[in-house]
Structure 1
């Protein structure tokens, strides 16, 4: 089957673009977040394409006055990947690697938006994520991440929030490859093993630079994928290049009785020498189920038919559990950076956390035992 994408020079296999050329868990995904520097307003969006399931889904979320509003949508892809809209939610690439637009048209749930992302720094390619469980590839993913500013507006229940580039910053990413999507495999893997996944992701915005840190640890606390980058801002045609760190690590203090961070510290060692420390203070938590991550009804790639749209809202203060579906979070954080010469920078960002199973450095021994 030929589709619109076949007129663009983007093929990776001899097949038409409608056929991904890999296993049924192939996906292609957009993610965005945006926030005021004080964290008073936060929004997030995602759109995923699952070629072998013939499904596209999307979500848009707003956190305002302590309430998280989530709108979800899913539709049949009809094998046409360039039509990046699902129900009221649409993504438009305005200028590749520089500017993208997120729109939520008026709908019965009273949440709408028209937002444009503009880069602050160049897009950064993270190291390829390849994660196996015995003979099975669980993840094989490439991702680009980019920090930027936002302009436009969001409307919630008749209240309009103006979004300006001087007040709103954030992060977007694009990831594609293989990861678990849709219905679970009915046949488990032998020998059975308890789930284990330790994930931190911290894109941060400072006035004169951005930083990006991530970590995947195994149960012993050994990193199987980690990286840290610092990058100056992109000014017109002047594109500051990223500085890859020689070493990086993190320290997390967990809230007692949970698996969510009370405080965090990032440590970077520059390749030319000199250490950087970034202290993170979580202020509140955005629940990733709003974007479909671990959602019991709106999980990624679920078959909802030709078109389905759903909505939910909840007070952040009402969420007392750290167990799924509330385990996977992005905590809005303030950040204090100390450079090798003692100079400091203040910033803000998010600390994404998903901690499942044992992790020796944290004292976790079971699937969801809490911090002491």
Structure 2
């Protein structure tokens, strides 16, 4: 059961806040993205606390004209989890589970104020639990919510108005590998294969969510699809674990050229056709890998800018495998007119995956 407290970074276990515990790899994270209606501009934010490592970090990335301009910040947590600020990047919880605001005080040419307002009550995804050999690799809970975004961002003196934008935010807490790797590897505990797709899509009056984690043979170990009308409450929408995604890869890469999501419904199957626009967000820009990986100890306070060419990059470089492709989408539901929308197609494929001949 989700409560208002779940929107604060004070969890201690992979379960809702009513329970307590500890683990070296425990984390508590915010994620936000938003994009222009035509997909021409995109912003993403991540903010995490790592209680056992006593570290907090925050990141913002702005994608426009083939460039990804990032601001990274990290500090010693000081064991105070209610201070949701790292250097110039801060989060305000205006209304738990409904309205949150990100503020970036001008630093290294980047600034902004963005308000994210939920289109419906957030969904609680199935709990993610996975072991590699004897090692607990992940064990966490995540809520996800499509949003309408407003405000502005500024990069090197160019102000981008955020008006009519939509996007997605999530909150996850639990156990994932964070910070520096353990000095002694565990035999049989190394991650040799990982398949992940996530596609939250915004349509005119509803949202569609889909995610899948699968093993190398394509068998899902965590998956869910949801069709959620605007204004839906905690028990609203259509939820199923029987949805499937057919993916066509860009030749020679592990990134999708196109995806077709099929969602079983009582009146017949709904389909969502997802077509990346060519604008790609590299997730390392907000700490998913790279020098500024989540939980890395950078000292009392460290802030740095990073600029990434996200139009021309080696798609097979390990650091570039994890992406969000800004995508146009078409929703077809039996007996209803088609709807056109926009969202992201997040992808990370490591190791073998037989359904795609990898």
Q: TM-score, normalised by structure 2?
A: 0.92
Aligned with 2:21: secondary structure? Answer: coil
Worse-superposed segment, 333-342 or 198-207: 333-342
The answer as to whether partners of 2:134 and 2:188 remain within 8 angstroms in 1 is no
Q: Give how far 1:242 is off.
A: 2.0
Counterpart residue number, 2:323: 329
Q: In the TM superposition, what is the alpha-carbon distance from 1:206 to its structure 2 partner?
A: 0.2
Q: Report the counterpart of residue 314 of structure 2 in structure 1.
A: 320
CA deviations 1:189-211 (Å, max 9, x no partner) are 22366610000000000001101
> d(CA) in 2 for partners of 1:191 and 1:207?
47
Number of the residue aligned with 1:125: 124
What pairs up with 1:137-286 in 2 under 5 angstroms? 137-164=136-163, 167-191=164-188, 195-234=192-231, 241-245=236-240, 247-270=242-265, 272-283=266-277, 284-286=279-281
How far, CA to CA, are the matches of 2:11 and 2:273 in structure 1? 43
Moved more, 338-347 or 328-337: 338-347
Query: What is the CA distance between 1:245 and its match in structure 2?
Result: 2.5
Residue 328 of structure 1: CA displacement? 0.3
Contact 2:11–2:20 (CA under 8 A) maintained in structure 1: no
* More displaced stretch, 22-31 vs 182-191: 182-191
- The 1:156/1:25 distance shift into structure 2, 3 A limit, reads same
Q: Distance in 1 between matches of 2:79 and 2:285?
A: 26
In the other structure, the counterpart of 1:370 is none
1:31 equivalent in alignment to 2:46: no
CA RMSD of aligned residues (A): 2.0
Task: Summarize the Cα distance change of 1:222–1:240 in structure 2 as closer, same or farther, 3 Å threshold.
Answer: closer
Offset at residue 223 of structure 1 (A): 0.4
Q: Give the distance between the partners of 1:150 and 1:11, measured in 2 at CA.
A: 26
Q: Provide the C-alpha distance between the structure 2 equivalents of 1:278 and 1:100, rounded to a whole number of angstroms.
A: 29
Match of 1:289 in 2: 284
Output the CA distance in 1 between the equivalents of 2:120 and 2:300. 38
**How many residue pairs are counted as aligned between the two chains?**
346
Inter-CA distance 194–11: structure 2 relative to 1 (3 Å threshold): closer
SS of the residue aligned with 1:106?
A: strand
Q: Which secondary structure state, in structure 2, belongs to the residue aligned with residue 121 of structure 1?
A: coil
Partner of 1:76: 76
* Contact 1:260–1:322 (Cα < 8 Å) also in 2: no
Report the Cα offset of residue 240 of structure 1. 8.2
| Secondary structure in structure 2 of the residue aligned to 1:290 | helix
Name which one, 1 or 2, has greater alpha-carbon Rg.
1
Indicate conservation of the 8 Å contact 1:208/1:232, yes or no. Answer: yes
Structure 1 residue 257, shift from structure 2 partner: 1.1
Counterpart position of 2:56 = 56
Could you list the runs of 5+ residues in structure 1 that have no partner in the other structure? Answer: 365-372
Residue 12 of structure 1 and its aligned partner are, at CA, apart by 6.7
Q: Measured at CA, do residues 101 and 11 of structure 1 come closer, stay the same or move farther in structure 2, by a change above 3 Å?
A: closer
Change (3 A) 1:11 1:171: closer
- Note the residue ranges of structure 2 that are not aligned, 5 or more in a row: none
Structure 1 307/130 Cα, relative in aligned 2: closer, same or farther at 3 Å?
A: same
**CA drift at 1:186:** 1.8
Moved more, 190-199 or 77-86: 190-199
TM-score relative to the length of structure 1: 0.89
The 2-side partners of 1:344 and 1:246 are apart by 23
2:132/2:188 contact within 8 Å kept: no
Alpha-carbon deviation of 1:41?
A: 1.0
Q: Secondary structure at the match of 1:189?
A: coil
